[in-house]
Amino acid sequence: MKFKSLAFFVLPTVALFVVSVPALAHHGFAGRYDEEHPFTVEGTVLEFQFMNPHSAIIFEAKDKNGAVQRWHAELSGANALHRADGWDRDSLKPGDKITIIGPRNKNGSNDMNLSHESKITMTGTGKEIHNSFKGAQDQ
């Protein structure tokens, strides 16, 4: 009898722990991206991946020396982007010029996470297509 009641408590606890650890590791935003110093980059879209659980923009941008570099910007999932900003799979197309402001990877790689505070503007027209900055919408 004691074994059954112990198993009734231990098994769900272990199962909850096993499920929650990967979720915490997957969403380790603060340790990886620098929210304190938003980074601005202008580039040309190569590919837009509109999917769940995370969408992505693959784009090219020139560094300060003029060398072209490939960038990756991760966004929220397709469902969240559609609800928040009305996006669909054609919201960004190869060749579109964009300006992104958002957290860059702390290790200096060409990797950004735009699922938190960020802004995306169409460079040519100035049309803002995404702005998730809290409070200060004119970032």
Token reading at 14: 């272990």
Report pLDDT for 20.
Answer: 46
Ramachandran region, residue 108 (left: φ > 0; alpha: ψ -120 to 50; beta: rest): left
Q: How large is the average pLDDT for residues 106-117?
A: 93
Q: Which amino acid is present at 4?
A: K
pLDDT-derived band at 29 (thresholds 50, 70, 90) equals: low
Q: Is a pLDDT exceeding 50 seen at residue 22?
A: no
Q: Which of 70, 89, 67 is nearest to 79 (CA)?
A: 89
- Tell me the C-alpha distance between 85 and 49, whole Å: 16
Q: Pick the range with the lowest mean pLDDT from 15-24, 25-34, 125-134.
A: 15-24
